[in-house]
Amino acid sequence: MATAEPIIMPGYQGEAITGPYDDPDGDSDADGGVPNYEGASVEQVFELFSAAAPNGWRVELIEGDIYVTPPADADHEAFVSELVDQVSERRRERSLRNWTGIGLNVPGASKTGHVVPDLVIAPKDSFRGPEKWNDPSPALLVAEVTSTSTADRDREKKIHGYARAGIPVYLLIDREEAEVIVYSEPSGDDYTQNPKYKLGLTIPLPAPLDFELDTAEF
């Protein structure tokens, strides 16, 4: 891989695309140069990049832009692990389950957005079968933990897709800003409630979780 930086293709309109995935095996002589994606739709290019992505890399289609992101660092994963542990231990509705790495379809600027939240909470058996991108309607909460390379889309673009999908709660743990925002009551392409808390405080989560998240443990 030529670089560990995320690839961003904003507003793809069918032009040729270059980047590390042009030659994932590093054997540029074998394929005669850079593939030409001219005339392809954003969905087609997204599928090509998804198929070529190395294991552990995340490919998402958010508000018409394609993002290819390398695996998260250990600090990010420690935050996600602590969040999952607290939800599993404290949630009052025992029929709920946690999904990490599950793909969701969400309405976006393109025909469909494809996102992979850090955590999805939904009733048991909500997601089954071979589909990579799932109906988001069972999701009761999605959570994102920011990294330097993902923070902007977590703070802005993903809000719109989650709200349009009608997901009741979007929990944003912003490591760079040292704060947590609990978005709830989706309306249109935004949430009407978005209380903000300093990281380290005890934070109330709305129903159906209906417990306090202790962010001092992060």
Mean of per-residue pLDDT scores for the chain: 85
Which pLDDT tens digit goes with each residue over 154-203? Answer: 999 999 999 999 999 999 999 999 999 999 999 999 999 999 999 999 99
Would you state the pLDDT for residue 173? 98
Residue bearing tokens 């190395």? 54
Q: Would you place residue 27 in the very low, low, confident or very high pLDDT band (cuts 50, 70, 90)?
A: very low
Sign of CA dihedral 37, 40, 41, 43: negative
- Does residue 1 surpass a pLDDT of 80? no
Would you state the pLDDT for residue 110? 64
- Does residue 5 surpass a pLDDT of 80? no
Rounded Cα gap, residues 214 and 197, in angstroms: 11
Rounded Cα gap, residues 154 and 117, in angstroms: 9
For the chain, list the strands marked E by DSSP: 7-9, 58-62, 65-69, 96-99, 103-106, 113-115, 119-123, 133-134, 141-145, 169-174, 179-187, 190-193, 196-198, 202-204, 212-214
Q: Would you place residue 139 in the very low, low, confident or very high pLDDT band (cuts 50, 70, 90)?
A: very high
- Does residue 123 surpass a pLDDT of 90? yes
Would you state the pLDDT for residue 170? 98
Would you state the pLDDT for residue 157? 92
Q: What is the mean pLDDT of residues 97-116?
A: 88
Which has more pLDDT, 63 or 120? 120
